[in-house]
């Protein structure tokens, strides 16, 4: 039983070839599951207790798992449009009353991908190939919303997954050495994550404490409405990670776009909230976005387009800060639409997650 820390992975740009087990990389919360009779304990990264936040998952596990085991997996929330990481994050910041409500309205699932102990046998010293064999043998009949992850030893299949499974909660592909033992808290596995590009409108910037630009505030236009209404610019997140010299250069480049930024800005309510009252008064997506940019915020005329790279776009926003690539003076701001970041779930999604 706990404490125990999950095995980790190091990033790679390309899928490795050789004796690996390849699996989809899921956009969820890492979770170790410990069952000892009628007791279930869920443990996240850095030994974070998760049990009280996912009471419905505890119920599923009691119904389906062997009486004594330890498994490794990923907590997910499956919706019709894909996996929703924001709802997972909301869950672990909720009160007990809110958790009960969320468990009813947005039930979580568990994707299982490793077996660490079964009965009284500790399997961590066994090679992955043997742990996978025992996992299939003992957990092959799991029923939704508990799932056994798809896996393959065929590198060509893994590459096809990587090329085709983009967005909607598919984060990339994992490569795990078949002869590898379970090394707690060690980066002995390999993750190949998607890095995609998009063009966004620059709607403002946040000032760095030492001067210059610390973040660009990004927007995308809604798709054209059927009633002919003018598409609206929506906030989608941040672009950051600038060096000290880049911060100063960006500040000089953006100065000309500050004039009229307040009066002409398409987000007057958000501007007012960030500049004067902070994020507490905001709701929904704008609350999370405003929390990320609280501070000295300078609105700009929305005329600049930036090309950037990003990993995840979920719930109509970049979940992590995007990275600057270059300015796009050849593009009109109105060309920056949500359709460039829309990645519908692959055909297998409904089969994998019938609970969605």
Structure tokens at 301: 């005329």
Q: Which residues contact 227 (CB under 8 A, 6 or more apart)?
A: none
Burial of 349 (0-12, 13-18, 19+ CB in 10 A): buried
Burial class from Cβ neighbours inside 10 Å (0-12, 13-18, 19+) for residue 163 reads exposed
Tokens standing for residue 19:
């004796």
Q: What angle do CA 324, 326, 328 make, to 5 degrees?
A: 125
**Is residue 13 annotated as part of the catalytic site, yes or no?**
no
Using alpha carbons, list the distances in angstroms from residue 100 to 25, 49, 57, 78, 92: 28, 17, 12, 18, 12
**Are residues 86 and 285 in contact, defined by beta-carbon separation less than 8 angstroms?**
no
Map residue 228 onto helix, strand or coil. coil
| Cα-only R_g, the chain | 23
b/e map of 306-328 (b: 16 or more CB within 10 Å)? bbbebbbbbbbbbbebbebeeeb
| Catalytic site residue from 10, 13, 25, 287 | 25
Find residue 220's DSSP bridge partners: 234
Inter-residue contact 72 to 26 (CB < 8 Å): no
Which residues participate in catalysis according to the annotation? 25
């Amino acid at each position: 039983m706990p404490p125990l820390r999950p095995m980790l992975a190091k990033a790679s740009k390309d899928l490795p070839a050789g004796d690996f087990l390849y699996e989809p990389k899921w956009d969820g919360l890492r979770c170790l599951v410990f069952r000892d009779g009628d007791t279930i304990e869920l443990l996240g990264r850095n030994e974070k207790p998760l049990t009280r936040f996912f009471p419905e998952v505890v119920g599923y596990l009691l119904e389906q798992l062997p009486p004594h085991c330890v498994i490794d997996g990923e907590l997910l929330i499956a919706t019709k449009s894909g996996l929703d990481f924001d709802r997972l994050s909301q869950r672990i910041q909720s009160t007990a009353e809110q958790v009960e409500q969320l468990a009813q309205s947005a039930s979580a699932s568990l994707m299982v991908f490793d077996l660490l102990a079964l009965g009284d046998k500790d399997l961590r010293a066994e090679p992955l190939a043997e742990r996978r064999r025992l996992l299939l043998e003992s957990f092959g009949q799991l029923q939704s919303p508990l799932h056994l992850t798809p896996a393959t030893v065929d590198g060509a299949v893994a590459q096809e997954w990587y090329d085709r499974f983009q967005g909607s909660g598919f984060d990339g592909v994992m490569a795990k050495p078949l002869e590898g033992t379970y090394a707690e808290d060690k980066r002995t596995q390999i993750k190949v994550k998607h890095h995609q590009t998009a063009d966004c409108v620059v709607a403002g910037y946040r000032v760095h404490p030492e001067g210059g630009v610390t973040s660009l505030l990004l927007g995308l236009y809604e798709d054209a409405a059927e009633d002919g209404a003018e598409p609206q610019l929506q906030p989608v997140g941040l672009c950051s990670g600038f060096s000290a010299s880049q911060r100063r250069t960006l500040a000089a480049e953006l100065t000309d776009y500050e004039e009229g930024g307040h009066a002409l800005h398409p987000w007057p309510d958000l501007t007012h909230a960030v500049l004067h009252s902070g994020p507490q008064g905001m709701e929904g997506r704008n609350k999370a976005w405003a929390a990320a940019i609280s501070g000295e915020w300078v609105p700009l005329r929305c005329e600049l387009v930036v090309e950037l790279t990003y990993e995840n776009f979920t719930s109509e926003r970049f979940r992590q800060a995007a990275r600057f690539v270059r300015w796009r003076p050849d593009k009109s701001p109105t060309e920056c639409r949500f359709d460039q970041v829309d990645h519908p779930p692959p055909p297998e999604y409904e089969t994998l997650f019938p609970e969605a």
